[in-house]
């Protein structure tokens, strides 16, 4: 069906909409500059409630492999692309992206001049979605759906236990939207996980605590859980949204980023080593530099100098980016040290 994206400033983008746009549909709109990994982006709980514009124009070429899901299903509200591949070709591909989106009832708008749309979205000032973006669907543009709704979404996790082979420590997760790649990395390091839906009471008996990423505005979250975890005095590792929640619980301020850090090419400098790593990120907020002591800043963004990592205590680390194996191992070392002390 014909779809037209309109911005309040008057710009119009025409394309086609497949599926999913039903009454009550609402979402935020963001763009992601990653050149691969569409499955991972769609299924990242942090993407919940967002219509995602991909800057890579050729999407779906290698299809979908369910193993790449970062949670049990896609969470994005909609996908906006230039071209969705007609065929999918890859030895791991189990389905076409189109079929997967259909199955999970996620609308996809194709044929959009995504670069021009991104150029308009990038210039937004002062917040996540201050400007009205709407999509009109149907030949006569009969139905209007807002694409710039505030991010209210919450990820609903299940209580579960995941055991690592040769467990060296057990970590409790206050799950706001744990990605499977982080889960797998921890497991492969011998860390077992006790996963609680965020907000559930977690006691102080675990070897450490994990505050993972997730969707929405950090300021909308109740911080009781985070504060309880801090008070245990056990090692804490926080990522993405968890990094923001930890900062808020420690009294720091959060500001929204315009247009957000969403991509696989974001340079982050480790203050201690001076080394720069290229990171993957998917969020729209950052810790206000002036609200934290400069001594605890462990990582900064090379491009915009924003805070990327904080070392609140020797055993309380948080990073805004999706951690690589090395960063995870650092946390595992802390767990081991803390375990040895006991």
Partner 1 sequence: MPRDNSIKKVLVIGSGPIVIGQAAEFDYAGTQCCRALKEEGLEVILINSNPATIMTDKDIADRVYIEPMTTDTVRDVIRKERPDSVIGTLGGQTGLNLCMELAEDGFLDAYNVRLIGTGPETIRKAEDRLIFKQTMEAIGQPCIESIVSEDLQGALDFAERTGYPVVIRPAYTLGGAGGGIAYDEAELRAIASGGLRASRVGQVLVERCIAGWKEVEFEVMRDGAGNRIAICGMENIDPVGVHTGDSIVVAPTQTLGAPEYNMLRKASLDIIDELGIEGGCNVQFALHPASFEYAVIEVNPRLSRSSALASKAVGFPIAKVATKIALGYRLDEIRNAVTQSTYASFEPSVDYCCVKIPKWPFDKFVTAKRTLGTQMKATGEVMSISPSFEAALLKAVRSLEQGFDSLQMPELAELSDDALEERLTLIDDRRLFVLAEYLRRHIAEEVMPLLDHLYTITKIDRWFLSKIYSIVRMEWVLTRSPLTPQLLLHAKKLGFPDSLIARQTGKTERDIRDERLSSGIVPGYRVVDTCAGEFTAQTPYYYSAYGVSNEAPVSRPQPSQPSAARRVVVLGSGPIRIGQGIEFDYCSVHCVWALQNAGYEAIIINNNPETVSTDFDVADRLYFEPLTPEDVVSILDIEKPIGVMVQFGGQTAIKLAKPLHDLGIQIIGTPFSGVDGAEDRKIFDRILEDCKIDRPRGAAVYTREDAVQTAHELGYPVLARPSYVLGGQGMTIAFSDEELNDWLDNMELYDGRPILIDQYIMGLEVEVDAICDGEDVLIPGIMEHLERAGVHSGDSISVYPPGRVPEARRETLYRYTRDIALALGVRGLINIQFILHDGKVYVIEANPRSSRTVPYISKITGLPVVDLATQAALGFKLPDLGYAYGFYPEKQYTAVKMPVFSFEKLYGAEVSLGPEMKSTGEVLGISDNLPDALLKAFIGGGYLRSVTRRVIMTVSDADKVEMCALARRFQTLGYEIYATEGTYAALQEHGLRASLIYKVEAEGDLNILEFIRSKGVDLVINTSTGGVSSRRDGYLIRRIAVESGIPCLTSLDTAEALLLSLEHRSPGRLDVVDIANA
Nearer to partner 1, 23 or 139 (CB): 139
Nearer to partner 1, 63 or 216 (CB): 63
Site for partner 1 in 220-259 (CB under 8 A): 259
Question: Residue 314 has which token pair?
Answer: 């020797």
Site for partner 1 in 300-329 (CB under 8 A): 302-303
Residue 35 binds partner 1 (CB under 8 A): yes
Q: What mask of x and - would describe binding to partner 1 in positions 112 to 151, judged by CB under 8 A?
A: -xxxx-xx--x-----------------------------
Handedness of CA 129, 133, 138, 141 (dihedral sign): positive
Stretch that binds partner 1, among 88-96, 166-174, 201-209, 232-240 (CB under 8 A): 88-96
Please pick, from the candidates 23, 166, 275, 293, the single residue that binds partner 1 as defined by CB under 8 A: 275
Residue 184 binds partner 1 (CB under 8 A): no
Question: Distance between CA atoms of 109 and 5, rounded to whole angstroms?
Answer: 9
Q: What mask of x and - would describe binding to partner 1 in positions 41 to 70, judged by CB under 8 A?
A: --------------xxxx--xxx-x--x--
CB of 155 to partner 1, least distance (A): 22
Stretch that binds partner 1, among 81-89, 182-190, 227-235, 313-321 (CB under 8 A): 81-89
Stretch that binds partner 1, among 72-80, 150-158, 239-247, 273-281 (CB under 8 A): 273-281
Contacts with partner 1, residue ranges (CB under 8 A): 31, 33-37, 39-40, 55-58, 61-63, 65, 68, 82-83, 85-93, 111, 113-116, 118-119, 122, 259, 263-267, 269, 274-276, 278, 302-303
């Amino acid at each position: 069906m014909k779809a037209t994206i309109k911005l309040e400033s008057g710009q119009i983008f025409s394309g086609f909409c497949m599926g999913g746009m039903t009454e009550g549909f609402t979402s935020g709109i963001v763009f992601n500059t990653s050149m691969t990994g569409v499955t991972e982006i769609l299924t990242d709980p942090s993407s919940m409630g967002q219509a995602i514009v991909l800057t890579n124009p050729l999407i779906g070429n290698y299809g979908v492999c369910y193993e790449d899901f970062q949670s049990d299903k896609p969470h994005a509200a909609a996908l906006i692309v230039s071209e969705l591949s007609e065929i999918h070709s890859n030895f791991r591909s189990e389905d076409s992206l189109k079929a997967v989106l259909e199955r999970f009832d996620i609308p996809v708008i194709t044929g959009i001049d995504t670069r021009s749309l991104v150029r308009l979205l990038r210039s937004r000032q002062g917040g996540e979605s201050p400007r009205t973006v709407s999509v009109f669907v149907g030949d006569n543009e009969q139905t209007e759906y807002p694409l710039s709704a505030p991010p209210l979404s919450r990820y609903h996790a299940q209580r579960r236990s995941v055991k690592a082979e040769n467990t060296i420590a057990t970590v409790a997760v206050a799950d706001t939207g744990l990605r499977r790649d982080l889960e797998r990395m921890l497991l492969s390091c011998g860390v077992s996980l006790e996963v609680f839906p965020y907000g559930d009471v977690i006691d102080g008996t675990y070897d450490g605590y994990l505050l993972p990423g997730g969707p929405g505005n950090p300021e909308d979250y109740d911080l009781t859980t985070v504060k309880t975890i801090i008070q245990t005095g056990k090692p804490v590792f926080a990522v993405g949204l968890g990094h923001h929640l930890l900062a808020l619980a420690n009294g720091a301020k959060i500001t929204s980023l315009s247009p957000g850090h969403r991509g696989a090419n974001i340079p982050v400098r480790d203050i201690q080593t001076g080394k720069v790593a290229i990171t993957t990120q998917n969020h729209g907020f950052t810790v206000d530099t002036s609200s934290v002591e400069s001594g605890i800043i462990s990582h900064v963004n090379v491009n915009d100098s924003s805070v990327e990592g904080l070392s609140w205590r020797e055993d309380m680390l948080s990073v805004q980016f999706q951690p690589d194996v090395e960063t995870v191992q650092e946390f595992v070392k802390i767990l081991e040290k803390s375990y040895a002390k006991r």
